[in-house]
Amino acid sequence: MSIISIGVSGLTAAQIALSTSSSNTTNAYTAGYTLQVANFSEATAGSGVQVSSVDRQYNQFVTSQLNSSTSAESALSTYQTEIDQIDSLLADGDASLDTLMQSFFSSIQTLTSDASDTAAREEVIGAAQTLTSQFTQLGSYLDDMADDVNSQIDDQVSQVNDLSEQIADLNKKISLSDALGSTANSLLDQHDLLVSQLSELVDVDVTTQTNGSYTVSLSNGLALVSGNDSFELQTAVSASDPTQTVVTYVDAAGHTTTLDDSTFEGGSLGGLMDFRDNSLSDAQNQLGILAVSLTQAFNTLQAAGVDLNGDTGSALFSVADPSVYGNTQNSGDAVLSATFTDDVSALSATDYTVKYSDTDGYTVTRNDTGASVDATYDSDTLTFAGMSVTISGTADNGDSFLVLPTRNAASSFTTLTSDGSLIAAGTSTGASDNSNALLMLNLQTDSIVGGSKTLAQTYSALVSDVGSTASKVAGQLETQTSLTDQLTALQQSESGVNLDEEAANLIVYQQYYQACAKVVEVGTSLLDTILDIN
C-alpha cells in the first residue's frame, strides 16, 4: 500500500471526524440531539485508517428512566394546575360559603328577636339569596371545570394519535435505513424526541427492535405503535356516565375497547383523569350535599310552621332532583327517576350504582367505597340513602343505573321566594311567634349532613381536604421535578454536547488532517524523486 493511499485514508477519516464534531457543535442547542462520536479503526492489510462507525452516545436505560419520570412529573403538574383552581376558589374569605352561611343564620337569629319585624324577614331573604347565589357560582364553576377536563382529554388524545403516527412513520424509515446498511442517527434522535413528547401526555413502555424501530405500548400492554403501524385512541361518552369522556382503543381489526381510567397513571392525560375522578367529583359532591341537606332540613321546618300571613309555610330553597342514567349497554327497558325524601340523614357525598340481577333483584352500592347500601323495594319504588327511586319498565339481568344525588346539586341551589312574609317563623298564627325560627337557628349546630356533621364541619372538611391534596401534590411535584432534573443532567452528561470538548476536538482533528496531508505530501515528493531518477 502506498504512502499516498495511507495518507488519503487519514484525510478521509479526519474529514468525517471534523464533520461529526461540527455537527455536534452546531446542534448543541437542538432539542433531542444526541452526541455523535466517530470511531476509528485500522484498515485491513495495513492500508491506513478507517472510520468504522459514527455512533450516538445513547444510554437506553437512562432515557427510559427519564421518560418515566417526565410522565410522572407531567401528571402531577397537570393535577396541581387543576386542584389549585379549586383551592383558590374555596379560599376566598369574604365570599366563602362558611362566611355566608354564618351571615344567613345570623339573620335568622335577628328574626328570633322579633318574628313580626318585616325588615328582619327581608334580611333573611337577602342572606338566603346571597348564599344560594354563591353556591350556584361555585357549583357552576366546578361543572365548567368538568367540561373543560373532558375537552382537554379530547385534545390530548388527538396529540397522542399524531405522535404515534409520526413514530410509526419513523419506524418505517429507520427499518429501511437498517436494511440498506446506512446510519440513521438523525432519525433515531427524532424517534427519541417524539417518545419523550408522548411520555408527557401518557405513560408508555418502549421496546427497541433489532432494526432500531420502536414498539410503543400503554401500561396495559396495548400497542400504540408496532412496526410501521400506529393504533388510534378515540374519545367517547361514557356508557355509564354521560357527563364524562372516556378513552377507547381501536385495534388492527377495527374493534373498539373502552379503556379504564387507571390505564393512564402518568402523563397529563393521567393527571386529568385522576383529578376528575377524585378531587373534582369529591368537591362537587361535598358542595352538593351541603345544598341538599340545608334545603331538605329548612323546607321541612317551613312546612311545619306558619308564615306571617297565617298560612302553612312553603319551601324556601330548591335543589334539582338526583340525576339517574341508565347504562347505554342495558338490554332491558327499565327507566329510573329519583327524588329526595324529607330525611336525607343517610345520604352520602358520593354517586351510587343500582344494579339488577335475576337472583338478587335490585342492589345498591356506593361508588366511592364499593360498599353495599341498605335499600328497600316496594311497588316499583326503591328507597335508599334519603332518596326515593321510581322504576318503570323491566330491567334485564346485569342492567345498571348511575344515580348522582349531589354532584350537580350546588349549581341548581336556588331561593324560591323574595317575600319575607313567607318565612314560617312560628307554629301558630301569632305574628310574634318565633318558636319555628328558633328551630331554624338550631340547624346551624345540628348534625344535618349525613346525620353526623354540621354544615360548618362539612364545609371545613371540604376546604381542608382540597388544601391538603393541593399541598401534597405540590410536594410530590417538587420531588418528582428534582428527580427529572437529576436524570436530565445524567443523560446530558452522556448524550449532550459539551462545546468546550468539541472545540478541542476540532483543533485535534484539524491538526490530524494537517498531519495526514503532510503524509500525502511526503509520499508525493518521494514519488516525484523516483520518477526523476528514471
Please state, in angstroms and rounded to a whole number, the distance separating the CA atoms of residues 239 and 144: 21
Residue-level pLDDT at 248? 97
**Taking the model in full, what pTM does it have?**
0.90
The amino acid at 269: L
Residue-level pLDDT at 94? 65
Residue-level pLDDT at 534? 58
Q: Domain locations in the chain?
A: 3-57+496-532, 60-203+266-315+412-495, 321-407
Q: What H or E segment, with its residue span, contains residue 142? A: helix 118-180
Counting Cβ atoms within 10 Å, is residue 15 exposed (0-12), middle (13-18) or buried (19+)?
middle
One digit per residue, the tens of pLDDT, for the chain of length 534 reads 588 888 888 899 999 999 999 999 999 999 999 999 999 988 887 788 988 889 899 999 999 999 999 999 999 999 999 999 999 988 876 668 999 999 999 999 999 999 999 999 999 999 999 999 999 999 999 999 999 999 999 999 999 999 999 999 999 999 998 888 777 899 999 999 999 999 999 999 999 998 889 999 999 999 999 999 999 999 999 999 999 999 999 999 999 999 999 999 899 999 999 999 999 999 999 999 999 999 999 999 999 999 999 999 999 999 999 999 999 999 999 999 999 998 999 999 999 999 999 999 999 999 999 999 999 998 899 999 999 999 999 999 999 999 999 999 999 999 999 999 999 999 887 777 899 999 999 999 999 999 999 999 999 999 999 999 999 999 999 999 999 999 999 999 999 999 999 999 999 999 999 998 998 988 888 877 777 775
Please state, in angstroms and rounded to a whole number, the distance separating the CA atoms of residues 51 and 40: 5
Q: Determine the Cα angle at 339 with ends 336 and 340, to 5°.
A: 140
Residue-level pLDDT at 1? 59
Helices (H) and strands (E) counted in the chain, each on its own, are: 10, 20
Map residue 10 onto helix, strand or coil: helix
Map residue 77 onto helix, strand or coil: helix
Please state, in angstroms and rounded to a whole number, the distance separating the CA atoms of residues 480 and 74: 9
Please state, in angstroms and rounded to a whole number, the distance separating the CA atoms of residues 115 and 440: 12
Residue-level pLDDT at 223? 95
Place of cell 464534531: 21
168 near 228, Cβ under 8 Å?
Answer: yes
